[in-house]
Amino acid sequence: MVAFSENAGPSTLPPVAIILAAGKGTRMRSDLPKVLHEVGGRPMVCAVVDACRDAGCQRVVLVVGYKQELVYEAIAKQPKSWVAGIEYAVQSEQLGTGHAVRCSEGVFSEDLKPGKGKRDVFVLAGDGPLIRGATLKQLLSRHRQHNAQASLATSLIDDPTGYGRIVRDREGRLQKIVEHKECSPEQLAIREVNPSYYCFDLATLFSTLAKVKRNEHSGEYYITDVPAMLLTEGKRVEVIDAVPPEDVLSINTPEQLAEVDAIYRRRSPGGNGARS
């Protein structure tokens, strides 16, 4: 049973992070797990870990799957001080983002016990190396300021093809996130997208994921269902348009990888891609 902390005040504990890193990346023309393709001279997932640490995370859980042993080896090659605090969860079947996050629940068994305090958790994609620690700090601040159960950072981009759309009501409040392939023609015209920058109350996340049903078309469990479910239950969900359009560039091909690598290296005078 997951402890539920709806009525607790804002967390003062350090946040934790779950990074989804189980995919193959079928269009990369490589047998490597997608997150091991290099950006800034390191596996791209390292940049996501860096951003989480910039935002105060002492523990980072990588959800691995495809050729997971290669991910273990690549992370182990990083400096020991950097590797400290990284843990793993395994997604043995690729059943969607919601399923991937649920696979990490056992790692947080101690945090989820009654009386352990309210803990915030980032949930992020391991193939988004342009993420900035400053954006995560802004997201966490908004999340805690409003004592939200879920918060997400969105982006307005010119070409939203492939991204989940942020659907709002007439007053501009979030209604739901709709995956691209599930969008109506009207929803396809929405330019505000979901780049998968989430912050949740840890206990609320897992108690809600337990109620997510398989999508009838894909057969997958979507974490994008969670915010709408929480809103239906009357819980607080915050949304901020805080992600620069450049930061949500997709990496699905070697050409896109090269483009993102060039942007990442330009951000630091030393060429190592440090975020500002």
Query: How far is the C-alpha of 57 from the C-alpha of 179, rounded, in Å?
Result: 28
Q: What crossing angle do the helices spanning 45-54 and 133-145 adopt, rounded to 10°?
A: 50
Domain 16-153+195-266 fold is Spore Coat Polysaccharide Biosynthesis Protein SpsA; Chain A (3.90.550)
Q: Which candidate, 13, 9, 17, places its Cα nearest to that of 205? A: 17
Cα–Cα distance between 139 and 31 in angstroms, integer?
A: 34
Tokens at 98, concatenated = 């919601």
Average pLDDT in the chain: 92
Q: Over the stretch 173-191, which tens digit does the pLDDT of each residue have?
A: 999 999 999 999 999 999 9
Residue type, 205: L
- Pick the catalytic residue from 27, 29, 119, 144: 27
Residue 44, amino acid: M
Side-chain half-sphere CA neighbours of 81 within 13 A: 0
3-state secondary structure 8-32: CCCCCCCCEEEEEECCCCHHHCCCC
Give the containing element (helix H, strand E) for 223: none
Residue 119 known to be catalytic: no
Positive or negative, the CA dihedral 41, 46, 51, 54 is negative
Other residues' Cβ atoms within 10 Å of the Cβ of residue 233: 12
- Whether residue 3 is predicted with pLDDT greater than 70 in this model: the reply is no
β-pair partners for 168: 174
End-to-end CA distance of the chain: 40
What are the structural domain ranges in the chain?
Answer: 16-153+195-266
- Give tens-digit pLDDT for 205-240: 999 999 999 998 889 999 999 999 999 999 999 999
Report pLDDT digits (tens) over 32-87: 999 999 999 999 999 999 999 999 999 999 999 999 999 999 999 999 999 999 99
pTM for this predicted structure: 0.93
**What pLDDT is stored for residue 12 in this prediction?**
81
86-90 and 59-64: which strand pairing? parallel
